[in-house]
Amino acid sequence: MTATSVLRPDVVVVGGGPAGLTAAAALAGRADVLVLDRERATGGIPRHSDHTGYGLRDLRRVMTGPAYARRLTDRALRAGAALHTEATVTGWTGERTLAVTSPRGRYEVEAKAVVLATGARERPRPARLVPGDRPAGVYTTGQLQNLVHLHHGSPGTRAVVVGGELVSWSAVVTLREAGCATVLLTTEHPSPESYAAFNAAGRTVLGVPVATRTRVVRVVGKGRVSGVEVEDTATGRRRTVDCDCVVFTGDWIPDHELARSAGLAMDAGTRGPLVDTALRTSRPGVFAAGNLLHPVDTADIAALDGRFVADRVLDHLAGGGAADPRGVPLVADAPLRWVAPGLLRPGDPAPPRGRLLLWTDELVRVPRVVLTQDGRELSHRTLPWPASPGRVFRVPWSVVRRVRPGGGPVHVGLA
Ligand SMILES: Cc1cc2nc3c(=O)[nH]c(=O)nc-3n(C[C@H](O)[C@H](O)[C@H](O)COP(=O)(O)OP(=O)(O)OC[C@H]3O[C@@H](n4cnc5c(N)ncnc54)[C@H](O)[C@@H]3O)c2cc1C
């Protein structure tokens, strides 16, 4: 292919993870669909997440990440979608035209609709502004799992895992499989952010020491990491933990470069593109789905976004589904960090699975969710499940009531 080659599918999906593959499978047969993914195989993060826990809500079964990635790829192919791997979308050359670079050459894809499903990543050590040396042996969970499961490399023998989310325990399991002991798991929170059952199993079955209210203040090592300095945030006391591997886990950011370079309206909370409940971005015919919108939720939720967005894309292809211009922003108030979707429009459908997705920075065991607009309470609801840092807090769509289309932003808070 040359720089002038232009492919013209009805729909181009950027990102062949659970969201993109599921959207493609739902669209194929009803539209001509092309999925572009920069990796050598489609499947997204589950490809290298070699443990069970995937597929519950979308496929109604539980399977390992690699098996799940293969299953979603097969479904998209069998439905008739075209999948291009090693195809990196590097930018836009038109409203819905993408520039693609692959080992086969450069080409453009001009589509009637674009679905951005580029996912989210853990912020690496430099982005977290952790001082100290810059040695080898410092990873995110994604990098660690790539090293161990795709490249069969060795991460080291003694690891410190930074963070206490579900993904942090996933890192511990991967380290264990690679023959590397986790000598400490640190979290700044009073207890690890993961589910209590995971924390208990991690401490007892896996024998991992956990330091709560602790932060990493320095990475030490010339050439190879030799330790990390950790600080007890309550007392200020510091100590150095010997290790030859550090894994920074969680602390997610959407893979939002394409959304930003398109000049799409961005959501200041999620840092992904701003979407309404039909998952439309600010550019007509450009939609988004998956962890790009909610960093991060589980893979089945990303997949169900993909299934949901397919119908909105078909509406668009049929000439309908235009956005009502009277959009009202939805804003998360502290301790909530973000809410997705972030825009309410009259006449739009409920969001995927009839849930608003939120992220909290503090544990609230019995959360009372309150919605206000222009200083007036619209609704409130006490939920029987906690709002916990490190995982998505789901709120039934029924809390969104009595919103005035011409009014100010709707605030979502916890009383
Ligand atoms: C270590 C770890 C363990 C996890 N464990 C579980 C679990 O047990 N169960 C569970 O349900 N979930 C788990 N998750 C979460 C799950 O992996 C994600 O929710 C899911 O992968 C999100 O799907 P997605 O399609 O939104 O994004 P992704 O899976 O991130 O896929 C995005 C795709 O977009 C591609 N892409 C990005 N930019 C470009 C570009 N410019 N051009 C071309 N392609 C591009 C990427 O290559 C990637 O394939 C885990 C996550 C991690 C990191």
Whether 335 is covered by a domain: the verdict is: no
In this structure, are residues 224 and 244 in contact, taking their beta carbons and an 8 Å threshold? Answer: yes
The H helix count followed by the E strand count for the chain is: 8, 29
Judge whether 358 and 392 are in contact, CB under 8 Å: yes
Structure tokens at 353: 């699975």
In which element (H, E) is residue 181 found?
A: strand 181-186
Helix (H, G, I), strand (E, B) or coil at 36: strand
Ligand 1 in reach of 249 Cβ (< 6 A): no
Residues 145 and 245 in one domain: yes
Around Cβ 57, how many Cβ atoms within 10 Å?
Answer: 12
Query: What pTM value is reported for the model?
Result: 0.94
Tokens of 103: 């080992």
Q: What integer pLDDT is reported at residue 2 of this predicted model?
A: 52
Atom 35 in ligand 1: residue holding the nearest Cα = 15
What is the domain-level CATH number for residue 40? Answer: 3.50.50.60
Asked if residue 218 belongs to a domain, the reply is yes
Between the CA of 46 and the centroid of ligand 1 the distance, in Å, is 6
What does each C-alpha distance from 211 to 38, 188, 253 come to in angstroms?
38, 8, 25
> What's the domain count of the chain?
3
Please give the Cα distance from 294 to 355 (Å, whole number).
12
In whole angstroms, give the CA distance from residue 138 to residue 141. 10
Q: What are phi and psi of 52, to 5 degrees?
A: -80, 170
Q: How many Å lie between the centroid of ligand 1 and the Cα of residue 17?
A: 5
- 176 and 211, same structural domain? yes
What is the DSSP pairing of strand 120-122 with strand 238-242? unpaired
Tokens at 323, concatenated: 């956005």
Ligand 1 center to 243 CA (angstroms) = 28
Tell me the CA distances in angstroms from 124 to 22, 139, 323, one per residue in order: 28, 7, 37
The answer to whether the CB of 294 is under 6 A from ligand 1 is no
Q: What is the pLDDT along the chain (415 residues), one digit of tens a residue?
A: 555 699 999 999 999 999 999 999 999 999 999 999 999 999 999 998 888 999 999 999 999 999 999 999 999 999 999 999 999 999 999 999 999 999 999 999 999 999 999 999 999 999 999 999 999 999 999 999 999 988 999 999 999 999 998 899 999 999 999 999 999 999 999 877 777 777 787 788 788 999 999 999 999 999 999 999 999 999 999 999 999 999 999 999 999 999 999 999 999 999 999 999 999 999 999 999 999 999 999 999 999 999 999 999 999 999 998 999 999 999 999 999 999 999 999 999 999 999 999 999 999 999 999 999 999 999 999 999 999 988 999 999 999 999 999 899 999 999 8
Angle at 286 between CA 281 and CA 299, to 5 degrees: 80
Please state, in angstroms and rounded to a whole number, the distance separating the CA atoms of residues 189 and 304: 31
Helix 299-317 and helix 65-79: axis angle, to 10°?
Answer: 20
Length of the chain as a residue count: 415
* Interaxial angle between packed helices 18-27 and 299-317, expressed in degrees from 0 to 180 and rounded to the nearest 10: 40
- Angle at the Cα of 316 (from 310 to 318), degrees rounded to 5? 105
**Best probe residue, ligand 1, of 48, 49, 149, 167 (max atoms within 8 Å of C-beta):** 49
φ, ψ (nearest 5 deg) of residue 21: -65, -40
Determine the structural domain holding residue 374 and report its residue range: 344-414
34 and 112 belong to one structural domain: yes
Strand, coil or helix: what is 177? helix
The CA 120 to ligand 1 mean position distance, Å, reads 7
Assigned domain for 149 exists: yes
Q: In DSSP terms, which residues pair with 330 in a beta bridge?
A: 410
Q: Give yes or no: residues 162 and 150 share one domain.
A: yes
Mark which of 250, 267, 285 sits at the end of a domain. Answer: 250
Inside any domain, residue 337:
no
| 37 and 135 share one domain | no
CB of 202 closer than 8 Å to CB of 115: no
Q: Indicate if 388 and 348 belong to the same structural domain.
A: yes
Interatomic CA distance for residues 321 and 258, integer angstroms: 23
Kindly provide the b/e burial profile for residues 376-414, where b requires at least 16 CB atoms within 10 angstroms of the residue's own CB. Answer: eebeeeebeeebbbbbbbbbebebbeebeeeeeebbbbb
- Secondary structure letter of residue 327 according to DSSP: -
State the DSSP code for 131.
-
**pLDDT given for residue 312 in this prediction:** 98
Q: Which of 279, 261, 246 is nearest to 352 (CA)?
A: 279
Specify whether 215 is located in the same domain as 311: no
Q: Which two tokens stand for residue 238?
A: 């510091």
129 and 185 share a domain?
yes
**DSSP code at position 12:** E
Please confirm whether the linkage preceding 346 is cis (ω < 30° from 0): no
336, part of any domain: no
Ligand 1, residue 55: give the atom nearest the CA: 11
In a domain, residue 90? The reply is yes
The answer to whether residue 263 is domain-embedded is: yes
Asked whether residue 229 falls in the same domain as residue 372, the answer is no
Instruction: Note the pLDDT of residue 127.
Output: 95
- Do 130 and 203 belong to one domain? yes
pLDDT, position 246: 98
How many whole angstroms from 366 Cα to the centroid of ligand 1?
30
- CB of 167 closer than 6 angstroms to any ligand 1 atom: yes
Single out the residue in 230, 250, 270 at which a domain terminates.
250
Rounded Cα–Cα distance for residues 175 and 206 (Å): 11
Residues 53 and 107 in one domain: yes
Q: Which two tokens stand for residue 113?
A: 């609709």
Distance of CA 203 to the CA centre of its chain: 26
244 shares a domain with 130: yes
Q: Is residue 333 part of a domain?
A: no
Q: How many CB atoms lie within 10 A of CB 21?
A: 33
User: Is any atom of ligand 1 closer than 6 Å to the C-beta of 250?
Assistant: no
Exposed/middle/buried for residue 222 (C-beta within 10 Å: 0-12, 13-18, 19+): exposed
From 261, 292, 323, the end of a domain falls on: 323
